[in-house]
Structure 1
Amino acid sequence: IFFRCLLPTMNIFSTKKPKHVGEGMMSGLKNIGKGVGVGAAALVGAPIVGAKQGGAKGFVKGLGVGIVGGTVAVGAGVVTGVTQVAKGVAATPTAINHERNGQVWDPYKHDWVQYKLEDEAHDVLQVSDEEFLKKLIEEREAAKKQAISEQEKKQWEQMDALKDAVQAMKTEDHKDAPASGTATDPSAYGVKEAELYDLLGVKPNATPNEIKKGYYKRAQVLHPDKNPGNEQAKAQFQAVGEAYQILSDEQLRANYDKHGRAGVDAAPKMDSAALFAMIFGSEKFKQYTGDLQITDQMMQEEKFPEPLVAFRQTKREVQCAVDLAAKLQSFVEGHEDEWTHKVMEEAKELSEAAFGATLLHAIAYIYVEQAQLRLGLKDGGKMFRSMHVSGHNMMMKYQALQAGLRMATMAQQMQAGQKEGEGKLTPEQQAELAGLMVEALWQVTVIDIEDTLRHVCWRVCEDLGISKEDRVKRTKGLLALGMIFEKASAEKAKGGVDEFKQKMVGKVPEAEQPKDEQK
């Protein structure tokens, strides 16, 4: 999950077409800076690695490698940097003509477009995943017939995977819903109890992925946001969350299978609403963030074809853009006081939801960032604001990678300790590892939310389906919305992750037995 989110943005030097000379200069300076940074890292790091592997000789060899690698990196940065500046100069006359013709620059496609949100919503939101794949297959089969060389024919090797995905969707649509509430005979599966499996609507031999899907389906139906004031649904939602906490943990699940409820009495009971929000995103925030990518990845039986993943993400962004534009419409129409009052009330409610302040703060940051970028506010105008955005992106991806590496390193150390005969993990070790997992999961979630909302804000603020005056008003409304969200979440935002980590206390060792059986 970490690298799937990070790899698309880890190309060192940008070679994409710049909008104009200003963007070309900025891209060029970034490339030169990256080249110098990578070169310095190679010059310092290679001798250290060489010394660890080969002593003094290794140090000398590493120094040579570092000098060569550093020189190449700096040279590549300078060459690509100068090239980007030249591209920007060449693109400037074209940019002026496109702006005169009423087109806008799409920073994600790196091209000029006549973008209208209403048109894209009409083209995208009514198309199901199955319809999209069928259309894609038809287009690729038609292109395959026209292919001449063997090399061109190899481009369509994904055809079988696409057809399998369509068939899988048909199978999924005809599956019976999980039989929650149906009692399972535990003796038929060699377990002591099956109540927790029944709560999730799965059998005791279910795979980890089936358990995740069962939890997601049941939790969606019972979520308090969908059942306000229903205490029975709230209690069932908590019970389903506790069942998932036990059955999603390999060690606790083994204890439950062997000893039943008595074997997991000491397991932590975390708030189910916070757990659901952490993994899948809060229902109340769906209009702002859509379904998180990590939700799709966790719910997949097999990896979706890349075209379908891209389509689902586009659909998510368009729906969020439509919802955001509707949210800002009252502000655009001039009803600012009434709009502000309603938004402040909503922000207060969102910040009080489980994990709400933390999610709200992440949303607020992007709204303010993107509005200020377009309005040219703070930090010396648009150019410096763009550089600030790029720096923030790099920092977030570095933090996510760092969190993932810390988690992986600790897990390896614990496994090594177990192999050396130190026994099972202590509750303290499990708590520490769980805390790192929460931190890493949140970092990846933030990257997903921020990248998605930047695309959403572009659609909302660059929509040529409305007048230029209304686009400016929308952008100002976006800034106001972000600042209200920021104020409502400021005090509790950081505490959300820390509080959740504190709840990840140690778990029951596999060998532990309930007291009644020990007697």
Structure 2
Amino acid sequence: MSDKGPSSEPLRLTSGADDDQGNEPKIFGDLLSTRRPKDAAAGLSSGLKNVGKGVLGGLASLVVMPIEGARTDGVKGFAKGLGMGAVSAVAMSAAGIGTGIVQIGRGIANTPNAIKESMSDRVWDETKREWISYSLPAEAEELLNGANAEESGSKGHVKDTVFYDRLGVAPTATRTEIKKAYRLKALALHPDKNPDDPTASERFQQLGAAYQVLIDDQLREAYDKGGEDALGGQKFIDSSQLFELVFGSQKFESFIGELKLLSLTKDMQEMPDPNAGPEKQRELYNKSQYLLEKGQKQREVRCAVNLAAYLEKYISDTTETKEHFRQFLESEAKDLTSTGFGATLIGVLGYVYEEQGNMALGFKSNVAAGLGLTKMAKSAHIASNQMKVASSVFKSYNVARKAQTEMAKAEADAAKVAAESGATAAEGAAGTAGEKTASGGAAGAGGEQQTRSSTDSARVGGSAAAEGIAMKHLEDSLPTLVETMWNITVLDVESTLRKVCFKVLKDSSVSAEIRSQRAEGMRMMGQVFHTHSKPFADGLLEVTEKMKLAVPHEPKVPEDGEI
């Protein structure tokens, strides 16, 4: 495939489909890959996968076809299916091995060009399967132009202005005005800054809910037309509110964007109707996956634009040791570490920034980076984090299963007690129900009422006991759940930041000298942030306590003798 010259392009966004460029043939549907491999390593990986897929597909045909034939046509069908399965198995295995060899050969053939292109700071576009000169401004223009466009406020009559009043803006406010008003209000209403106000947490949450509606075009339109009732009672989660409550500073959002856990939570709130047909379910699922992918790409580009602007302070610092930039970083770090978890998160940022800066600078940074040892350490670090996620998810599963078992037992015991209470009351009512006098009839009706009352009381008591068990397990399992959420967040943040750094350091819209200075500034950011970081355990207790305060508790009923 011929190169198209050193044009600066964004990395293309796709809907997630693994489309081939250049009208390459499809073999057995999408089973075997024939996409152009980047280099020998990519060709080997693709080739081995094709061989494995071909052999496994052939074995599956050899097993499935005879069984299907026997089901439809007995022994005769089995024999026929066996023959067809054998032919299919040979064909698929041969196709897998053949395309595998071809992919390996193509990868080897493409390696010299890959070395040349990578040395010229061009990057591999996974979608187009070709080398391009990447441009951060071009990608930002493509992905963020519409997303960040200024929208005028409501043009017509709005039914309800409560959400606008909470932020202190008019219904005609633009997105920028809403964002600015929210940040000012959030700083003033933050619970940590109002420790003596028992309503501070509730007002802060109400502010976040209003902002989440007004900053979303579709939700804002629905609210303007029908008020809060038109929102269907949805519970809105705001990333800015999350950063304020958990990490202590909204500034983290400019570095790492909206966490995937938060995006997935929002996506779950909009799950399709389970009664919808399979085609509709698949359509909605595909749309959801596309929007998640698009949101993640926008997140990466937005954070890359922010980081590039941040590093301009390093480049413009004319002091010999970049002391002004270092002082700026120290001030920023103190703000970011206002909470225990903020000090934990800044350590993650510091690790990735220093890692990526060292890798980009190579021997200019240190010998280990020049020899590629930093890249090896990165792979080991990622594997370790993945093991932590797997371990904590398993622990969370066990905690949830234990809670579910105990709740089910409590509910079963409650049902048994209710049945026994109903039976006892029914026996008492039966004695009076047989009397034929008017007073006896009244007594029978009263007996039935007593039966229902006893059964209802037992059922309510059992339900309360089950809820009590659930609340206790929730409080006891909070550290485990927080640990799981944190480990997943670390993987998400580190993966996102590496892509962000890649965009900033491979941006061909600036000179090689500027990219090198960006790497130096990135490394300094990592070093300073790392010195302000604290271990995970320091933030765990603080966040666990905050989450416990958010769990509703029933008021304790005084026992006899208590005041």
The TM-score normalised by the length of structure 1 is: 0.56
List per-residue Cα deviations over 1:365-387 (Å, max 9, x = no partner).
11112222222346464644333
Change (3 A) 1:357 1:333: same
Structure 2 partner of 1:126: 145
* Counterpart check, 1:417 vs 2:403: no
Report matched runs for 1:241-390 at 5 Å.
277=244, 282-300=249-267, 301-303=269-271, 305-335=288-318, 336-353=322-339, 355-376=341-362, 377=366, 379=368, 381=370, 383-390=372-379
Report matched runs for 1:468-507 at 5 Å.
468-489=512-533, 491=534, 494-501=537-544
Q: Please state how far the C-alpha of 1:289 moved relative to its aligned partner.
A: 1.0
Structure 1 partner of 2:428: none
Task: State how far apart, in whole Å, the 2-side matches of 1:79 and 1:378 are.
Answer: 43
Q: Please state how far the C-alpha of 1:393 moved relative to its aligned partner.
A: 2.3
Structure 2 partner of 1:433: 477
Q: Are the aligned partners of 1:278 and 1:442 in contact in 2 as well (CA < 8 Å)?
A: no
List per-residue Cα deviations over 1:18-69 (Å, max 9, x = no partner).
65457778x79x99xxxxxxxxxxxxxxxxxxxxxxxxxxxxxxxxxxxxxx
Task: State how far apart, in whole Å, the 2-side matches of 1:233 and 1:126 are.
Answer: 44
Task: State how far apart, in whole Å, the 2-side matches of 1:509 and 1:325 are.
Answer: 43
Change (3 A) 1:344 1:108: farther
Structure 2 partner of 1:65: none
* Counterpart check, 1:403 vs 2:422: no
For the residue of structure 2 that corresponds to 1:114, the secondary structure is: strand
Q: Are the aligned partners of 2:143 and 2:298 in contact in 1 as well (CA < 8 Å)?
A: yes
Q: Are the aligned partners of 1:317 and 1:455 in contact in 2 as well (CA < 8 Å)?
A: yes
Q: Are the aligned partners of 2:38 and 2:111 in contact in 1 as well (CA < 8 Å)?
A: yes
Task: State how far apart, in whole Å, the 1-side matches of 2:141 and 2:554 are.
Answer: 58
Report matched runs for 1:83-162 at 5 Å.
88-99=107-118, 103-105=122-124, 111-128=130-147
One-letter amino acid of the counterpart of residue 345, structure 2: L
One-letter amino acid of the counterpart of residue 114, structure 1: S
List per-residue Cα deviations over 1:102-141 (Å, max 9, x = no partner).
623457986422111112222222213999xxxxxxxxxx
One-letter amino acid of the counterpart of residue 117, structure 2: H
Task: State how far apart, in whole Å, the 1-side matches of 2:35 and 2:197 are.
Answer: 51
Task: State how far apart, in whole Å, the 1-side matches of 2:345 and 2:245 are.
Answer: 9
Q: Please state how far the C-alpha of 1:91 moved relative to its aligned partner.
A: 2.0
Q: Please state how far the C-alpha of 1:314 moved relative to its aligned partner.
A: 1.5
One-letter amino acid of the counterpart of residue 408, structure 1: Y
Task: State how far apart, in whole Å, the 1-side matches of 2:549 and 2:303 are.
Answer: 38
Task: State how far apart, in whole Å, the 1-side matches of 2:114 and 2:129 are.
Answer: 12
* Counterpart check, 1:456 vs 2:500: yes
Q: Are the aligned partners of 1:114 and 1:464 in contact in 2 as well (CA < 8 Å)?
A: yes
Q: Please state how far the C-alpha of 1:320 moved relative to its aligned partner.
A: 0.9
List per-residue Cα deviations over 1:132-151 (Å, max 9, x = no partner).
xxxxxxxxxxxxxxxxxxxx
Change (3 A) 1:84 1:368: farther
Change (3 A) 1:24 1:497: farther
Q: Are the aligned partners of 1:222 and 1:236 in contact in 2 as well (CA < 8 Å)?
A: no
Give the percent of matched residue pairs that are identical in Structure 1 and Structure 2. 28
Structure 1 partner of 2:186: 223
Q: Please state how far the C-alpha of 1:100 moved relative to its aligned partner.
A: 7.0
Task: State how far apart, in whole Å, the 1-side matches of 2:551 and 2:317 are.
Answer: 59
Task: State how far apart, in whole Å, the 2-side matches of 1:461 and 1:130 are.
Answer: 26
Task: State how far apart, in whole Å, the 2-side matches of 1:342 and 1:130 are.
Answer: 30
Task: State how far apart, in whole Å, the 2-side matches of 1:243 and 1:455 are.
Answer: 34
Change (3 A) 1:324 1:309: same
Q: Are the aligned partners of 2:133 and 2:508 in contact in 1 as well (CA < 8 Å)?
A: yes
Q: Please state how far the C-alpha of 1:396 moved relative to its aligned partner.
A: 1.9
Q: Are the aligned partners of 1:103 and 1:113 in contact in 2 as well (CA < 8 Å)?
A: yes
Change (3 A) 1:403 1:228: closer
Task: State how far apart, in whole Å, the 2-side matches of 1:16 and 1:226 are.
Answer: 54
Task: State how far apart, in whole Å, the 1-side matches of 2:374 and 2:41 are.
Answer: 13
Task: State how far apart, in whole Å, the 2-side matches of 1:512 and 1:98 are.
Answer: 68
Figure out how many residues of one structure are paired with residues of the other and give that number. 367
Change (3 A) 1:460 1:507: closer
For the residue of structure 2 that corresponds to 1:118, the secondary structure is: helix
Task: State how far apart, in whole Å, the 2-side matches of 1:80 and 1:220 are.
Answer: 56
One-letter amino acid of the counterpart of residue 495, structure 2: D
Q: Are the aligned partners of 1:219 and 1:237 in contact in 2 as well (CA < 8 Å)?
A: no
Say what the alpha-carbon RMSD is for the aligned residues: 5.1
Task: State how far apart, in whole Å, the 2-side matches of 1:86 and 1:225 are.
Answer: 63
Structure of higher CA gyration radius: 2
Structure 2 partner of 1:46: none
Q: Please state how far the C-alpha of 1:326 moved relative to its aligned partner.
A: 1.0
List per-residue Cα deviations over 1:199-238 (Å, max 9, x = no partner).
xxxxxxxxxxxxxxxxx9x997742278899859987542
Structure 1 stretch 494-503 or stretch 508-517: which is displaced more?
Answer: 508-517
Structure 1 partner of 2:70: none
For the residue of structure 1 that corresponds to 2:312, the secondary structure is: helix
Q: Are the aligned partners of 1:223 and 1:237 in contact in 2 as well (CA < 8 Å)?
A: no
Q: Are the aligned partners of 2:243 and 2:253 in contact in 1 as well (CA < 8 Å)?
A: no
Task: State how far apart, in whole Å, the 2-side matches of 1:507 and 1:445 are.
Answer: 21
List per-residue Cα deviations over 1:343-377 (Å, max 9, x = no partner).
11111221124621112111111111222222234
Change (3 A) 1:289 1:509: closer
One-letter amino acid of the counterpart of residue 145, structure 2: Q
Task: State how far apart, in whole Å, the 2-side matches of 1:443 and 1:379 are.
Answer: 27
One-letter amino acid of the counterpart of residue 466, structure 1: V
* Counterpart check, 1:515 vs 2:558: yes
Change (3 A) 1:516 1:409: closer
5+ unaligned residues in a row in structure 1: which ranges? 1-7, 9-13, 32-77, 132-169, 183-215, 245-272
Q: Please state how far the C-alpha of 1:400 moved relative to its aligned partner.
A: 1.8
Task: State how far apart, in whole Å, the 2-side matches of 1:230 and 1:455 are.
Answer: 35
Structure 2 partner of 1:4: none
Q: Please state how far the C-alpha of 1:482 moved relative to its aligned partner.
A: 0.7
Task: State how far apart, in whole Å, the 2-side matches of 1:291 and 1:120 are.
Answer: 19
Change (3 A) 1:511 1:24: same
Change (3 A) 1:290 1:351: same
Q: Please state how far the C-alpha of 1:342 moved relative to its aligned partner.
A: 0.9
Task: State how far apart, in whole Å, the 2-side matches of 1:107 and 1:127 are.
Answer: 24
One-letter amino acid of the counterpart of residue 302, structure 1: E
